[in-house]
Amino acid sequence: MKVLSIQSAVAHGHVGNSAAVFPLQRIGVEVVPVYTVNFSNHTGYGAWRGPLIAPSDVADVLTGVEERGVFPQVDVVLSGYQGGVGIGDVIVDAVRRVKAANPSAVYACDPVMGNAKSGCFVAPEIPELLRDRVVPVADIITPNQFELGYLTGTEPDTLESTLASVDAARAMGPSTVLVTSVERPDREEGTVEVLVADDAGAWIVRTPMLPFKANGSGDVTAALFTAHYRSTGEARVALERTVSSVFDLIENTYRSGERELRLVESQEVYANPRMQFTAERVR
């Protein structure tokens, strides 16, 4: 499998491609990383250095990759945080060209906008760009529950309303929707859930909620789920493998007392997930 991953990069820590590339490589996936920013660290620190890469430069790198004959080999285009409208246009154009070269390729978009606690933390034009131009061309999207609500103009909270919001998202274009950070009133206290739906049905996994904010864990989740789903064709299996690996990654980080993901130290949990969580079919 070959993944063209168009995301940010940081020198210190693990977000964007700096979070997604190594776990993919550890499970045997060839990754072609294209960077949209090159920062010293993620912006959650409140201060950082380094450049936003101009959309024209990102497009130039992609053209160079295309000229090497890589696009027909690409199975998945993966994108995450989009710093500006111009990058979104570059990504959509790259998806079009990859699919022209390899009609079986899929596009997986993590529509990063914000979360329930912080609200939207991207530029004001990004949510509309994602909703109106990017998500409709995606095959797989991996929003959190808050982002799912924004994309669909709904307020998912119960299982039923979240499934209805997923159906609305699938009607926009993507055939597969993975929803992270699902919190519903009737769930067991101290837990959080992840839900996935595709043409075959819908499944949900519940895990303990760790008292820890792990920047980059969503990037790892989107990458691993997409790769597992692409290789198995089964949403349930991909969900169980991904959640098992990511929970152990976050738990290892929490126990370490460090702020940044223990991405390298946790490599065995990507290659051989414990499969400690079982997905429940909900539709």
Calculate ∠ Cα 91-32-86, nearest 5°: 20
Q: What is the pTM of this model?
A: 0.95
Q: Which of 124, 125, 118, 123 is nearest to 144 (CA)?
A: 118
Q: Mean per-residue pLDDT for 49-76?
A: 97
* 3-class SS shares of the chain: helix, strand, coil, % to 5: 45, 20, 35
Q: Between β-strands 191-198 and 176-182, what pairing exists: parallel, antiparallel or unpaired?
A: antiparallel
Q: How far apart are CA 220 and CA 9, in angstroms?
A: 13
> Which tens digits make up the pLDDT trace of 122-164?
667 788 888 889 999 999 999 999 999 999 999 999 999 999 9
CA torsion 166-170-174-178 (nearest 10°) is 20
The pLDDT of residue 119 is 61
List, for residues 98-128, the tens digit of each pLDDT value.
Answer: 999 999 999 999 998 876 565 666 667 788 8
Q: Which helix (H) or strand (E) holds 271?
A: helix 267-271
Edge-to-edge strand ranges of the sheet holding 2-10: 30-39, 2-10, 76-79, 106-109, 140-141, 176-182, 191-198, 201-208, 280-281
Q: From CA 101, how far away is CA 70, in angstroms rounded?
A: 9
The answer on pLDDT for 207 being more than 70 is yes
DSSP three-state, residue 144: strand
